[in-house]
Amino acid sequence: MAGNPAQHPEDEGEKLLTGLKPLTIAYRDFNRDEFKSMMIQFNNFEGENDRANIESHLTLIASIGLSDPLRDDIDDAIIALSTGKTNVRIVSGDHKAAVMACALSLRFVDQINDDSCIMSSDELQSKIEPLVEMIEDEDEGRGMTYQFKNAECKRRFKGVKKQVRLVYRATPKLKHMLAAAFRMSGSTVGFTGEGLSDARALSEASVGFTMGQDGCSAAKDHADVILMDDNFLTVITAIRWGRNIQDNVRKFIQFQMTVNVSCMIFVLSSALILGHSPFSVMQLLWINLIMDVLAAIAFSTENPHPTDIREERINAKDNIITKPMMRSILSQSFYQLFIMILMLYVGPIMFKIEYPLYTTELREKVGDEEVPTNRLLHQTLLFQIFVMMNMFNMINCRVLDQMPVMSEGMNEDEIAEDSRADQID
């Protein structure tokens, strides 16, 4: 008795687009001698043509449609990823009808028969395979991987990857090749999978996600992150925290650079002009403690937004100090320097603690005791002003771009087109 899985419906079945995976059960009676002779004659039925001899003249028992429902909240996760300018692509081993039904449920496509955004595994592989070659990965130990043959092949692939949205009948080789090509083209690749066929692609991606409960052992061994609750929304959390860490690092650098630039220029210039530092050693140590340690604790523990994802994506080629950050550092440093220099030379007159700036010591002897001079009061005032300015600047640094470019005079379509132009595919 032999079972015969049904041929996958690529023409008639996809018109229904139910998303069910078909399985047909049929049988055919053989006696033992006849079956053994057929095995010898047709090479143990190892080839497709050999199997056709045993899978013919069958008696149909039943046709079954296997349902593979989407995970809970997967549609909300896809919307959140799209809002965060993360391009989502479906690369599936299922037949075309199942992939189109899944894409329709996730609102990837508007029409059920839209073939403009879907391609078969063979079609996509025929476009990628001439551009890449297999080599041994010696840098990260991924085993055999793919790389572009030359710069021209890399440029040509950038045109191919814009066409990739839905892929059906994907083979393990294609998944591996596609993940490697995307990574080598400069994209940050996150790959989710749970089957044995996804193992090589998981290790090839920048970050590989697999399911802790449904994922097979091979997928877990090759993945970077295992989702223990099998909830796809955990991927959103990982992306949100990853971008938040970069933001926190930039906030700290913006604040730290402002303190260092303003303090260094003010102390050096004052020491060269007056012959002594406007801050004592103890005050400089306190500035270092407050502005380094406490600021690092404050910025590193700042949580991301509980629901939204930061729209700006992380690119490996991005500078850690952006133009808005540099603008904030220079403007705030100039402001602090202006105030400090003003308080250094005009402050004694304003607060009625005038004294000779060049010759007065911090303390003077009156009888047997040393009493503080106006210079010591002045330095304490300068220290207080500098610390308070930077404490308020810490609040400013919680926003990386205090003056975002406004889109005044642009309609919604122009704004959407402008935002899409900034995306990295």
Mind listing the pLDDT tens digit of every residue in the chain (425 residues)? 343 444 444 444 444 456 677 788 998 888 888 888 888 888 888 877 888 888 888 899 998 888 777 777 787 788 888 777 788 898 988 888 888 888 888 888 777 777 788 899 999 999 999 999 988 877 666 678 898 999 999 999 988 888 888 999 999 999 999 999 998 888 888 898 888 889 889 988 888 999 888 888 888 988 988 988 888 888 888 888 888 888 888 888 999 899 999 999 999 999 999 988 999 999 999 888 877 887 888 787 788 877 777 767 777 777 888 888 899 999 999 999 999 999 999 999 999 999 998 888 888 888 778 888 999 999 999 999 999 999 898 888 888 775 654 444 444 444 333 333 333 34
| Whether residue 395 sits in one domain with residue 356 | yes
Same structural domain, 260 and 202 = no
Count of structural domains within the chain: 3
Decide if 144 is inside a domain: yes
- Sheet of 90-91, strand order: 90-91, 166-168, 118-120
Query: Which of these, 222, 190, 212, 237, lies nearest to 91 by C-alpha position?
Result: 190
pLDDT of amino acid 368: 77
The answer to the question of residue 229 being in a domain is yes
Residue 165: CATH number of its domain: 3.40.50.1000
Is 233 part of a structural domain of the chain?
A: yes
Are 19 and 87 in a shared domain?
Answer: no
Give yes or no: residues 317 and 391 share one domain.
yes
* Domain annotation covers residue 352: yes
The alpha carbon of 270 is separated from its chain's Cα centroid by a whole number of angstroms, namely 46
- Say if residue 259 is in the same domain as residue 365: yes
Q: Do residue 270 and residue 162 come from a single domain? A: no
Final residue of a domain: which of 66, 82, 106?
66
Whether residues 373 and 298 fall in one domain: yes
Domain limits for position 402: 242-421
Q: Does a structural domain hold residue 6? A: no
Domain limit, last residue, from 215, 237, 259: 237
Distance CA 181, CA 163 (A): 14
* pLDDT at res. 76: 79
The pLDDT value given to residue 141? 65
Q: Which of 196, 213, 237 is the last residue of a domain?
A: 237
Residue 289 domain-assigned (yes or no): yes
